[in-house]
């Protein structure tokens, strides 16, 4: 790792190539972030995906920038010099600023209600039980938890929510994983195009035969002024809900199980008191959240962050959520996984107007699945050396690709 330690207020004097740090950084980026944080909150980096960005570390600076309106989520704001392309389809809240974002969120929030999510809880439990039945009845007494539970559960729930039971889940998993994690720009483009075409067909089917589901409701919803989502906005929402709605929860559940299995004292505490279940999910979000850095933000004017000026003109800014939640200035002994701590205030779901709309659903799924898994597998253990686990590449989604377990 090379960085300028002589002038911590001028991040332009050095460029850290995070991609060159290889698998060690992918598996465990926290020591790198901590060393950068000790030098200051802003650093010029080249991300593994190839673009040059301004990386922001530390809780206070990161949380402030997540809510800073001078950073735009709209792709037309990106500098052409970045050489990056949009990785999603349509127009969604994730690629909009206020007031467009306010309008979209209002329309979606009319249908994405707490009551709708509450109605899903029995179905989440039923799906979890069925998946665990299959896993435990399989040959041997071992399985890949990602394949057996972490992936199929959130996908089934999102499909149930959106009313798309016929989704080709194997194809969608491949497209989604490539779009959000591949370091190959051409592969990301092909996956995005394939998924865009597929989602367009799903929406056409839903318009022709609406049902009692969220996607049908979004197609038909309008506010008091008659405003409704356009075709492009519906496509963006389908993308956001299907991709963001399952990728994050897959890795939240996987990371929770991995963290518990590698911290036996914490697992013992949870088994002794399942009242700690929700707190264990919150501590996982803080300690090993599923989103390492959020989707891209671009400068609309120069920003002074602790003495370092990030230029305007569409510069790429990434907030290291993973480091914000391990900042000792916010959380004492942050590298310790402790399900009894107060993990409140973490930014795993973001902060500000882009705070994750599906946070309650993700928490519900993780709590139900984790509790059911531990109850039915009292001898659950990791079936590999943790150092041998393959991890997702890129800096968006964080979690192991596989999690071999035995019981």
Cα 5 to chain centroid, rounded: 32
Interatomic CA distance for residues 160 and 203, integer angstroms? 15
> Would you say how long the chain is, in residues?
407
- Average pLDDT for 395-399: 94
Cβ neighbours around 379 below 10 Å, total: 7
Query: Which residue would you say has higher pLDDT here, 49 or 64?
Result: 64
User: What is the structure's pLDDT at 244?
Assistant: 75
pLDDT tens figures, 255-264: 999 999 999 9
Distance CA 178, CA 187 (A): 7
Percentage of the chain beyond pLDDT 70 is 94
- Lowest mean pLDDT across 79-83, 182-186, 287-291: 182-186
Domains and CATH numbers, the chain: 11-406 (1.10.630.10)
Q: Residue-wise over 242-265: b if at least 16 C-beta within 10 A, else e?
A: bbbbbbbbbbbbbbbbbbbbebee
Min mean pLDDT across 4-18, 334-348, 369-383, 392-406 is at 4-18
Cβ-count burial of 107 within 10 angstroms (0-12 exposed, 13-18 middle, 19+ buried)?
buried
Is there a contact between 280 and 370 (Cβ–Cβ < 8 Å)?
Answer: yes
CA distance 72 to 100: 12
Q: Strands of 14-119 (E only): list them.
A: 16-17, 42-46, 52-56, 71-72
Give 288-349 as a 3 state SS string. HCCECCCCCEEECCCEEECCEEECCCCCEEEECHHHHCCCCCCCCCCCCCCCCCCCCCCCCC
* Predicted pLDDT at 34: 98
Residue 395 burial (CB < 10 Å; 0-12/13-18/19+)?
buried
Q: Over 70: is that where the pLDDT of 94 sits? A: yes
Band (pLDDT 50/70/90 cuts) for residue 174 is confident
- CB-based contact 258:382 (threshold 8 Å): yes
Is the predicted pLDDT of residue 7 greater than 70, yes or no?
Answer: no
**pLDDT at residue number 11:** 46
Write out pLDDT tens, residues 23-39. 999 999 999 999 999 99
């Amino acid at each position: 790792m090379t960085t300028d330690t002589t002038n911590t207020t001028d991040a332009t004097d050095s460029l850290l190539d995070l991609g060159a740090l290889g698998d060690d950084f992918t598996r465990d980026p926290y020591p790198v972030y901590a060393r950068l944080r000790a030098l200051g909150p802003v650093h010029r980096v080249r991300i593994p995906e190839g673009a040059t960005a301004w990386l922001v570390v530390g809780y206070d600076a990161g949380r402030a920038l997540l809510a800073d309106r001078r950073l735009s989520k709209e792709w037309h704001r990106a500098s052409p010099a970045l050489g990056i392309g949009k990785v999603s389809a349509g127009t969604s809240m994730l690629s909009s600023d206020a007031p467009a974002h306010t309008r979209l969120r209002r329309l979606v929030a009319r249908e994405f209600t707490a009551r709708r999510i509450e109605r899903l809880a029995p179905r989440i439990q039923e799906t979890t039980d069925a998946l665990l039945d299959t896993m435990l009845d399989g040959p041997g007494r071992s399985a890949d938890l990602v394949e057996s539970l972490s992936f199929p559960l959130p996908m089934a729930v999102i499909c149930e929510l959106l009313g798309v039971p016929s989704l080709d889940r194997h194809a969608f998993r491949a497209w989604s994983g490539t779009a959000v994690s591949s370091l190959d720009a051409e592969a990301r483009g092909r996956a995005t195009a394939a998924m865009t075409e597929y989602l367009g067909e799903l929406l056409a089917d839903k318009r022709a035969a609406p049902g009692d589901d969220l996607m049908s409701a979004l197609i038909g919803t309008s506010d008091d002024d008659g405003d409704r989502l356009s075709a492009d906005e519906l496509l963006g929402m389908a993308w956001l809900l299907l991709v963001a709605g399952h990728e994050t929860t897959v890795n939240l559940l996987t990371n929770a199980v991995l963290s518990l299995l590698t911290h036996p004292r914490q697992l013992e505490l949870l088994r002794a008191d399942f009242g700690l279940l929700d707190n264990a999910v919150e501590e996982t979000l803080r300690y090993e959240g599923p989103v390492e850095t959020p989707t891209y933000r671009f400068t609309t004017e120069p920003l002074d962050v602790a003495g370092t000026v990030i230029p305007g003109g569409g510069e790429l800014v990434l907030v290291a959520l993973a480091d914000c939640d391990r900042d000792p200035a916010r959380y004492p002994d942050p590298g310790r996984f402790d399900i009894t701590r107060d993990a409140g205030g973490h930014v795993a779901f973001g902060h500000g107007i882009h705070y994750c709309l599906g946070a309650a659903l993700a928490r519900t799924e993780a709590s139900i699945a984790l509790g059911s898994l531990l109850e039915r597998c009292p001898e659950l253990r990791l079936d590999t050396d943790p150092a041998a686990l393959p991890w997702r590449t890129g800096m968006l989604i964080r979690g192991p690709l596989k999690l071999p377990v035995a019981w």
